[in-house]
Amino acid sequence: MAAAVFFGCTFIAFGPAAALFLFTISRDPLRVIFLIAGAFFWLVSLLLASLVWFVTVQMSNKESSSQQKALLIFGVVLSVLLQELFRFAYYKLLKKANAGLLAISQEDTMPISVRQLAYVSGLGFGFMSGAFSVVNILSDSVGPGTVGIHGDSQHYFISSAFMTLAIILLHMFWGVVFFEACENQRWWSVGAVVFSHLLVSCLTFVNPQYEGSLIPTYLVLCVMAGWAFSCAGGSLRNLKLCLTCKDKDFLLANHRPR
């Protein structure tokens, strides 16, 4: 077990996100700052949710496990709603900050566009969410042990890794769609994002029946990916041009010959 599982699961969970970070965000310090701020907002939302959960647990009957489970489910739903609320709050803050930045800077254009902000903040939320979900599990996987020796599922580590990957990417897509929807005042889109987040979290209630949770989650991931792609301005035509290296705007911007 040990090192192989650890490295495997780490790369599964964080690989794509780390690649995204490395290639698109790490060069630009402004984006890094917004990423970390997004992570911070997610953290605050988690803090509030766990505060409420903690208070309710203290007030409840600690012996009854069904009550505890119900409280936990309540905690999950509350946390999801709070996360989306904080995403909205971050959006508002970014709009104000951008207006401020524009006012004091000498240039005419904003240093970072709303779409980039949406992507970066979504990824920030995703990183933090993924990290909190899986880091302890990863650090336990380094040590010796037998998975599922008490009758639990043997696929705990790998399913956690895949779930985390899905969640991180989903957060990024949700961020893009959410900000776009807020920009254009399309509140039903916002509702759809919240609903899909709730759906994904609630699907995990059927764990350890991983078919019930992982497969639908990945389906939602694909749908959200398509939606986010079109929100960000992509289309089949763009995609085709990009993949066959014939997109003139992209080539011009990067000074590459066709």
Q: How far apart are CA 92 and CA 67, in angstroms?
A: 37
Instruction: Specify the 3-state DSSP secondary structure of 106.
Output: coil
CA 171 – CA 185 distance, rounded (Å): 20
- Please state the closest distance from residue 160 (CB atom) to other proteins, in A: 7
Stretch 29-58: interaction string toward other proteins, x if CB under 8 A: ----x--xx-xx--x--xx-xxx-xx--x-
Rounded least distance, CB 205 to other proteins, Å: 6
Number of Cβ within a 10 Å radius of residue 120? 28
Interface residues for other proteins in 206-225 (CB under 8 A)? Answer: 207-208
For the record, the structure tokens of 70 come out as 């119900």
Number of residues that bind other proteins (CB under 8 A): 44
What is the DSSP code (8-state) at residue 21?
I
Q: Verify binding: residue 245, other proteins, rule CB under 8 A.
A: no
Q: Would you call 212 exposed, middle or buried from its count of C-beta atoms within 10 A (0-12, 13-18, 19+)?
A: middle
CB 72 within 8 A of CB 155: no
Q: Rounded to an integer, what distance in angstroms lies between the CA atom of residue 166 and that of residue 219?
A: 10
Q: Please tell me the distance from the alpha carbon of residue 1 to that of residue 7, in angstroms, as a whole number.
A: 10
Binding mask 84-123 for other proteins (x = CB under 8 A): ----------------------------------------
Q: ∠ CA(233), CA(234), CA(240), 5° rounding?
A: 150
Would you count residue 132 as binding other proteins (CB under 8 A)? Answer: yes
For position 136 contacting other proteins by CB under 8 A, the verdict is: yes
232 binds other proteins (CB under 8 A): no
Which of residues 16, 18, 28, 76 is near other proteins by CB under 8 A?
A: 76
10 contacts other proteins (rule: CB under 8 A): no
1, 7, 22, 69: which one binds other proteins (CB under 8 A)? 69
Our CB check for other proteins shows the closer of 202 and 232 to be 202
Is 156 among the residues that bind other proteins (CB under 8 A)? yes
Q: Is 163 in the site for other proteins (CB under 8 A)?
A: yes
Tokens for 12, please give them: 């599964």
Q: How far is C-alpha 198 from the chain's CA centre?
A: 13
- Where on the chain is the footprint of other proteins (CB under 8 A)? 33, 36-37, 39-40, 43, 46-47, 49-51, 53-54, 57, 68-69, 72-73, 75-76, 79-80, 83, 128-129, 131-133, 135-137, 139, 156, 159-160, 163-164, 167, 200-201, 204-205, 207-208
